[in-house]
């Protein structure tokens, strides 16, 4: 997975080097670290997505959570109107359980009534660009596009039987952020990245209250949701994750 991430990093650096230098006060880095609990309310899987595979609820094995999570976001303000960013957003959950019926998955059959280990992974690496409109009163608005590199996998194990279906791919997304200051040091922020098509969709949205701890440090508290999946000839996978969001942003 290192190669796609290094490729995204090189693209971000190239964008920076090819952009005319702006005034020093507009060239800021912002590092945001986000953590908290994550739980899932849906995780349906069928691989392959035809008569040789069975659809089942992976939550029967992994449970709903909550599990801890971590996201790291690094943004660079190229000018007062443009910024680029990198995001590392891993998501992994696993557990043991029993399937209510026999399940044919990725060429193997897993029997009901006996313990099965299930693993779900959906790690994303994202390279983003945003356009920032001039501030209007208490409002700050920005919109742009994101290139998401997906490193996903579903694995089942029962005794000596094991099967998985790793999926590495690239997905384009659109992004939008709205921020409104409502009191001294306080602001409300809504941020969403997403795109949909007949073959699948991906939506990552968050709403948070922020508080300016110092000129360089900002805290945030809120809720994030990640929903989506794919429905094609090879796979049917749809999951819905919910996050309790606690974060810190540092400008330097």
3-state secondary structure 24-55: HHHCCEEEEEEEEEEEEEEEEEECCCCCCCCC
- Report the run of H or E that residue 4 belongs to, with start and end: helix 2-17
Match 């995001």 to its residue by tokens: 87
Q: What is the pLDDT of residues 141-190, one digit of tens each?
A: 999 999 999 999 999 999 999 999 999 999 999 999 999 999 999 999 99
3-state secondary structure 66-135: CEEEEEEEEEEECCCCEEEEEEEECCEEEEEEECCCCEEECCEEECCCCEEEEEEEEEEEEEEEEEECCC
pTM for the predicted model, two decimal places? 0.86
Other Cβ atoms less than 10 A from the Cβ of 174: the count is 12
How far lies 122's CA from each of 39, 148, 236, in Å? 13, 12, 14
Q: Look at 24 and 176; give whichever has higher pLDDT.
A: 176
Q: What is the pLDDT of residues 79-116, one digit of tens each?
A: 999 999 999 999 999 999 999 999 999 999 999 999 99
Radius of gyration of the chain (CA): 20
Q: What is the pLDDT of residue 27?
A: 52
Q: What is the pLDDT of residues 50-64, one digit of tens each?
A: 999 999 999 999 999
Distance, CA of 238 to CA of 223 (rounded, Å): 20
Q: Is the Cβ–Cβ distance between 7 and 226 less than 8 Å?
A: no
Q: Which two tokens stand for residue 141?
A: 């608005």
Q: Is the Cβ–Cβ distance between 235 and 55 less than 8 Å?
A: no
At 198, the pLDDT band (50, 70, 90 cuts) reads: confident
Average pLDDT, stretch 182-203? 95
- The burial class, CB within 10 Å (0-12 / 13-18 / 19+), for 136 is exposed
- Phi and psi torsions of 117, nearest 5°: -95, 130
Distance, CA of 51 to CA of 166 (rounded, Å): 20
């Amino acid at each position: 997975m290192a190669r796609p991430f290094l490729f995204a990093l090189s693209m971000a650096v190239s964008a920076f080097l090819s952009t005319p230098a702006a005034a020093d006060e507009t060239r800021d880095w912002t590092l945001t670290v986000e953590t908290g609990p994550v739980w899932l309310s849906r995780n349906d899987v069928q691989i392959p997505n035809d008569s040789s595979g069975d659809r089942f609820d992976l939550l029967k094995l992994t449970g709903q959570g909550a599990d801890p999570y971590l996201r790291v976001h690094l943004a660079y303000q190229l000018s007062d109107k443009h910024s680029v960013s990198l995001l590392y957003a891993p998501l992994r959950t696993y557990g043991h359980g029993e399937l209510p019926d026999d399940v044919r998955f990725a060429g193997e059959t897993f029997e009901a009534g006996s313990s099965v280990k299930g693993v779900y992974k959906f790690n994303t690496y994202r390279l983003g660009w945003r356009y920032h409109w001039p501030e209007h009163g208490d409002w700050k608005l920005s919109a742009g596009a994101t290139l998401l590199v997906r490193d996903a996998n579903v694995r089942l194990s029962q005794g000596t039987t094991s099967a998985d279906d790793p999926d590495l791919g690239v997905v384009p997304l659109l992004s939008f952020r709205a921020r409104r200051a409502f009191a001294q040091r306080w602001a409300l922020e809504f941020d969403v990245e997403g795109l949909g098509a007949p073959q699948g969709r991906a939506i990552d949205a968050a709403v948070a209250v922020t508080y300016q701890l110092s000129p360089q440090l900002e805290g945030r508290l809120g809720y994030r949701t990640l929903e989506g999946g794919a429905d094609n000839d090879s796979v049917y996978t749809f999951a819905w994750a919910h996050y309790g969001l606690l974060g810190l942003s540092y400008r330097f």
